[in-house]
Structure 1
Amino acid sequence: MADTLQAGDAAPDFKLPRDGEGFLTLADFKGKKLVLYFYPKDDTSGCTAEAIAFNGLTGDFAAAGTAIVGASPDPVKKHDKFRQKYELSFPLLADESKQMLEAYGVWVEKSMYGRKYMGVERTTFLIGADGRVARTWRKVKVPGHAEEVLAAARQL
């Protein structure tokens, strides 16, 4: 079941539209490590801080042989604006159908001020060059997170 995706499991495949144009698939990263992080919404404070943190470390991730991809249910046009505004150097995937979010178990029931709704649980997956989940961070707190993921990528 998707919500029990564990280290060692095969990462669910995907093919989604990305910012700019075109599509990305899991196979595009075959033989490379991948940080796949899921976030709720473009241009909100936490999501912006997380994107900027990962962006600031793209050179370090590249040196560790690791690509970075962000994914949210926002449409491609919104991703384009977000990526341009903050000069992000990694792709953003648009999962408007929420199929990938569900496959990775990050589309969950949330609650705010007593109101229940469906949304993205901020989650990061480190996927090994073999296409298997190496590590998972759920309910991510943004400060220090990108650095922690980088340390794990260097050890993988």
Structure 2
Amino acid sequence: MYVPVQNVLLPFSTQVRECLLYTENRKHGLFLEMKPDGSVRGSPVQKRNCVLNLRSVKAGETVIQSSDTSLFLCVDDEDNLKGQMTTLPRGFRERGRDRERDRERERERERERLRERERDKGSETEEDEEKERMMDEASDGEESDDTAYDRRHAIPPCDLP
């Protein structure tokens, strides 16, 4: 039987897999729980609100829905998990891409700022070296007028109070 490429995932779109999402660290473990009010929390024990349905919508896209509350697991603009009645609007993916693009732009701006600081440090060093070179060339081993004045008008240590 021949199946066109675009229809390869079609048989899987009706498959639903029930599961519990679980995480743990050294101190304790938690099950993901979606409450009827849409809040998402970690529960130390398995509850009816912890049972989730996973369904593949298309390649690379999975929908997670609570079996008990029928709410979909979603991420808001502040990257917090929440439950809501419908799946995310089509534009959410684009918002995610926009957010990632904005983050990448900010990282690039920060890299550019660092490069400019490095260049500025380099130019300051070059300026300092140029000043020192000019001072060395100007002195040619001779005392400056200020130094000579200080020597002539210095108070001998024996005259200090």
Q: Greater Rg, structure 1 or structure 2? A: 2
> What TM-score, normalized by structure 1, do the two folds share?
0.21
Higher-helix-fraction structure: 2
Which protein, 1 or 2, shows the higher relative CO under an 8 Å CA cutoff with sep ≥ 6? 1
